[in-house]
Structure 1
Amino acid sequence: MLHEFIKNHLIVQGVLQLPASLFKSKQAAKSILILQKKGEEVIAPKQAILAELPKLSDAQL
C-alpha cells in the first residue's frame, strides 16, 4: 500500500543512511528517505542519491 502510494504520487530523490554509531544497536539503525511530490514541472532524476553518512566523530576541522 505504501509502495503503491510512493510509486503513484512521489519521486524518490535519495536515501541517506545514518551512521550505526548514532544508535544503541545495529538493528535500530535508520535511514532518511528523500521524496518529492510529482508535478507537471518536476523532473525525476536518472538515479537517486544514495549516501552513507560518516560518523559524527570523524568530522574534519
Structure 2
Amino acid sequence: MSGDKADGEDGPVLDPLAQSEIGKILRDGYEEVVKEPVPDKFLALLATLEASEKASPEDGDS
C-alpha cells in the first residue's frame, strides 16, 4: 500500500527508558502467569486429546 511506511523510515520512537520500564512490567506479568497452575479443565482436555491420538495412530504425523 502506498500509505505504509517501510522499515527504517522515520516514525514514532519510544524513549529507551520507557522501553525498559515497559519490558520490566511485561516480564513481571509474564512471570506471574507462568507460576499459575494449569487449570483442571485444560489438563482433562489434554488427556482426552492424548488418548484419542493413541487410539488412532494411523492419523499421526507423517
Short-chain TM bin: under 0.3
Answer 1 or 2: higher relative contact order, Cα 8 Å, separation at least 6. Answer: 1
Normalized per residue, the structure richer in helix is: 2
Normalized per residue, the structure richer in strand is: 1
Calculate the TM-score normalised by the size of structure 2: 0.20
Calculate the TM-score normalised by the size of structure 1: 0.20
